[in-house]
Amino acid sequence: MKNDVVIVGGGITSLMTAYHLLNRGITPVIVEKNYLGSGATGRCGGGIRQQWSTAENIILARESVKFWERFDEEIGGNAHFRQGGYLVLVYSDEKRYIENVKLQNSLGVPSQWLSPEEAKEIVPYLNIENLIGATYCPTDGVAYPFSVVFSLEKYLTKRGVKILKKAEVLDFKYSDGIVEEVITNRDKLKAENVLIAAGAWSRLLLEKLGKKIPNQPYRHEILATEVMKPWLKPMVISFDTGIYFSQTYRGEIVGGIGMPEQPGYKLNSTLDFIKRFASVATKIIPAMKYLRVVRQWAGFYDVTPDARPILDRVEGFENVYVACGYSGHGFMISPEVGKIMAQMITGEAISHDISNLSMDRFKKGVITKEANVVG
């Protein structure tokens, strides 16, 4: 049997694309080398933010928020999506943030500039010493990655999507720019179309097709504290220090901070990370020094030179597509990315101008970097 679409990777991009393909009458097959969400998806902080510095990211996030708002209704599970907003703390270069707010407002995102005192109204425990101000978007929020993954798994399998777990793609059989088979450690899957959505491993899969992309995997560490009653409404984030943290629906604080890292496939946890997170977090909210850390772990950022994703058909191939390179913000924009990839695969008109997210943009020389990233 020939499969219409084989999706390599079982993370959020894959699941969302599968959802949008189903809406178009196509039942894809998902191939995952471990379990669903075992890559970056299940390791991420679950933040959903529209406060970006580039138009594409703002639009992708804005449209995605509309989906997150109706996820439970549409999918039938529970994303635990909570719109407590994102509070971006600003300690330098406020001009840039005010420009960002202008751009975001022009694209319909209701972000605003706040004085330190106004920021403190949103987070009463906030230490506003040295704080110039903050930007705040009340419709930003957080969702719970594993609740999202397992809700989607149920939805998709009920509708006939085959999900092969513990199936690792080893190679592709192709000729004349057409992939015919996806070869896994268990099976050979005949494919009409192939989508590579394997996060930080996408570049290795593309190499098997003789294609190179400049993505690099960077470890990003994160931790969770003990559970408390709700006290923190927004996701608190600062690009000056690279820290972010929010409270999940379970009541734990989940947060991370950018560390100096070399690219590579390592995922061990470090004491340096926990020390740096603790030092910065307890300056922002001194009362957090009494909070106990329960768990720390790490995941990969699949980082491109401009910190923006690659959403494209693989050059030189007629039936292979790639969606990767989110540089740490794939989860939040996945609903709209899934739609775009489903449109691309079915040959429909794509809802957005994604020419800046092409695979070959790095060869052309001029790229605009997304500035609002941590880590």
Partner 1 sequence: MKIVCRCNDVTEEDIIRVIEEGHTDIEEIKRILMIGTGPCQGNTCMIHLARIVAKYTKKYEITTVRPPETPVELGVFADEE
Angle made by CA atoms 366, 372, 373, in degrees to the nearest 5: 95
Which among 135-143, 272-280, 306-314, 343-351 is the span making contact with partner 1, rule CB under 8 A?
272-280
Question: Is the Cβ–Cβ distance between 341 and 333 less than 8 Å?
Answer: no
| CA atoms of 215 and 35, how far apart (whole Å) | 23
State the minimum distance, in angstroms, from the CB of residue 282 to partner 1. 5
Among 70, 159, 188, 295, interactor with partner 1 by CB under 8 A: 295
Token readout for 69 is: 């708002």
Q: Does 278 bind partner 1 (CB under 8 A)?
A: yes
| CA atoms of 350 and 353, how far apart (whole Å) | 7
Comparing CA positions, the residue from 50, 79, 92, 221 lying closest to residue 149 is: 79
Among 150, 162, 208, 240, interactor with partner 1 by CB under 8 A: 150
CB-wise, 229 or 290, nearer to partner 1?
Answer: 290
| CA atoms of 332 and 50, how far apart (whole Å) | 9
| CA atoms of 268 and 177, how far apart (whole Å) | 39
Residue 272 three-state SS: helix
Length of the chain: 375
* Rg (alpha carbons) of the chain, rounded to whole number: 20
Pairing of strands 29-31, 3-8: parallel
Place of tokens 């509070």: 87
35-64 residues in contact with partner 1 (CB under 8 A) are 35-38, 42
Among 281, 322, 324, 342, interactor with partner 1 by CB under 8 A: 281
Put residue 207 in one of left, alpha, beta given phi > 0 → left and psi -120 to 50 → alpha.
alpha
Comparing CA positions, the residue from 61, 67, 63, 66 lying closest to residue 47 is: 61
Comparing CA positions, the residue from 308, 268, 276 lying closest to residue 293 is: 276
Q: Does 346 bind partner 1 (CB under 8 A)?
A: no
State the minimum distance, in angstroms, from the CB of residue 244 to partner 1. 15
State the minimum distance, in angstroms, from the CB of residue 115 to partner 1. 26
State the minimum distance, in angstroms, from the CB of residue 46 to partner 1. 13
222-261 residues in contact with partner 1 (CB under 8 A) are 224-227, 250
Q: Does 266 bind partner 1 (CB under 8 A)?
A: no
Which amino acid, one-letter code, is at 308? Answer: R
Provide φ and ψ at 124, rounded to 5°.
-60, -25
Q: Does 277 bind partner 1 (CB under 8 A)?
A: yes
Q: Does 269 bind partner 1 (CB under 8 A)?
A: yes
CB-wise, 42 or 234, nearer to partner 1?
Answer: 42
State the minimum distance, in angstroms, from the CB of residue 165 to partner 1. 7
Q: Does 146 bind partner 1 (CB under 8 A)?
A: yes
Site string for partner 1, 20-39 (x = CB under 8 A): --------------xxxxx-
Among 131, 194, 257, 288, interactor with partner 1 by CB under 8 A: 288
Among 96, 120, 162, 165, interactor with partner 1 by CB under 8 A: 165
Among 262, 290, 347, 364, interactor with partner 1 by CB under 8 A: 290
State the minimum distance, in angstroms, from the CB of residue 23 to partner 1. 24
Q: Does 315 bind partner 1 (CB under 8 A)?
A: no
Q: Could you give the strand order of the β-sheet that contains 252-257, starting from the edge strand earlier in sequence?
A: 112-114, 133-137, 86-90, 235-238, 243-247, 252-257, 216-227
Which amino acid, one-letter code, is at 104? Answer: Q
Among 23, 106, 115, 279, interactor with partner 1 by CB under 8 A: 279
Which amino acid, one-letter code, is at 168? Answer: E
Site string for partner 1, 65-104 (x = CB under 8 A): ----------------------------------------
CB-wise, 173 or 289, nearer to partner 1?
Answer: 289
**Which residues contact partner 1 by CB under 8 A?**
34-38, 42, 146, 150, 165-166, 224-227, 250, 269, 271, 274-275, 277-279, 281-282, 288-297
